[in-house]
Amino acid sequence: MKYVLVLDVAKGKSMFMLSSNDGEVLLEPTEYPHNKSNFEHIDAYINKLDIKDNLTVVMEATSIYHKAPERFFKENNYHVIVFNPLIGKEITNTIRKTKTDKQDCFKLTNLFWKGSIPDRNYTEDEIYTKLNELSRQYYHLDEGLTRHKNRYKELLHLCFPEFELCFKNGKIYELTALNFIKEFPHAYIIKEKRVDALAYNMANTNDRHLNYYKRKANIIKECAQNSYPGVNENSKDVDNLKQLTEIIIDLTKQKDSIKVQMIDLAKHTKNFKCINSLFGIGELSASLIIAELKDITRFNNIKQINASCGLDPTIIQSGKSINYHGPISKRGNRYARKILFNCSRNIVTLSAKCDKENSIYVYYQKKKQEGKHYYACLTACSTKLIRIIYALCMYNSQEQN
């Protein structure tokens, strides 16, 4: 006889239900908080029944909340299936809108016995887990930096509007400019300082010759002499600007540290050289792709990868009209979709300058001539790029075997 333990996972708790394949319910749907004592209580009950060898533990991937029970049962040698919640949602949808955690347990149990829940049996290597954790922290810091930089630019226009003209092409976010504005956060403060003091501040951050920064300091001081900021030097926004530059510097250092760790780890994976060898994909981009897609050779075909990234087209039918090329579903890994999109954009930009025969660039031009929007063209290039990456990695994998 076979058994299934179904978990309807929520934040910090789950509804547990244990049943057999002949319909016998050994544990009625019962809610337990996620803690060691409750997990051990369930484990002891299963061992008492002596059914562990014939038991499967089933749960939906529910954000990060399923991680605790998944870890416990895997570490205690249970057969665990964690499946995409979209499977349960689409199959269990009914006309009636009644929904409770107990009912969900029965529905998931029925799905399992019908064979509707796939058992992928994919065991993820620890290196991919670590890479994914680093990748998510990298994106989190990057998103935070974007918000802080927008606020920094806003405060800069209040305290010293001309500063952006002195550090062009986004260099106001570099360490030299940040350290400078942290020390001299207002045009009137700069106006009172000697050129040497301004130059030494920038020279201490960078290795360029002091004379270069003396010239730069003269330009900054001239701008400050004629500047009329939106706030005076005693405004609280001046302190806010100083504080914000410190936050940006700290977050940038953390982000750079994670970048180095990711690249070092990714270099030990089997597909790193293949992905990094592609034109327009550097070490960081290759590391982020591996962090999100993990071992790409585990997929059976390219359609599975596109679906996992949310790049698969939606199919819309109404009567005799069928559109097989609708917008992408966006139901998969948004981080994977983002890095593939950015890589495609880099490849197209670089190819326009030095390699117009590049297959991605040629494909981009083809889509552009069809009248598609810029973003639609790059999205199409993303699907082509993932096909190339998949083919390269599969070919290299076969060669190694």
Residue 330: what pLDDT? Answer: 85
pLDDT value of residue 15:
93
Q: Cα(235)–Cα(155) distance, rounded to whole angstroms?
A: 11
Across residues 253-259, what is the average pLDDT?
Answer: 97
The residue ranking higher by pLDDT, 88 or 346, is: 346
55-60/3-10 β-pairing: parallel
Average the pLDDT over 1-22 and give the result: 93
Lowest mean pLDDT among 86-90, 233-237, 309-313: 86-90
Q: What is the pTM of this model?
A: 0.83
User: Which pLDDT score, from 0 to 100, does residue 208 have?
Assistant: 82
- In order of their start, the domains of the chain are 3-121 (3.30.420.110), 130-264 (1.10.287.4070), 272-400 (no CATH)
- Give the pLDDT confidence of 306-350 residue by residue, as tens digits: 988 988 887 766 666 566 567 888 888 999 999 999 999 999 999
Residues 6 or more apart from 236 whose CB is under 8 A from it?
Answer: none
pLDDT at residue number 132: 93
The 10s digit of each residue's pLDDT in 207-232 is 788 899 999 999 999 999 999 999 99
Q: In what order do the strands lie in the sheet with 13-20?
A: 25-33, 13-20, 3-10, 55-60, 79-83
- pLDDT at residue 399 in the model: 45
Provide the pLDDT confidence category of residue 255 given band limits of 50, 70 and 90.
very high
pLDDT for res 261: 97
Q: Is the dihedral of CA 298, 310, 348, 170 positive or negative?
A: negative
- Residue 121 confidence (pLDDT): 60
How does residue 118 score in pLDDT terms, banded at 50, 70 and 90? confident
Query: pLDDT above 70 covers what percent of the chain?
Result: 91
Angle, CA of 226, 148 and 338, to the nearest 5°:
125
Averaged pLDDT of the chain: 89
| Res. 398: pLDDT tops 50 | no
Which two three-digit tokens encode residue 361?
A: 């660039």
* Rounded Cα distance, 98 and 100, in Å: 7
CA-closest candidate to residue 266, choices 282, 288, 281: 288
% of the chain residues with pLDDT over 90? 73
Phi, psi (degrees; rounded to nearest 5) at 143: -65, -40
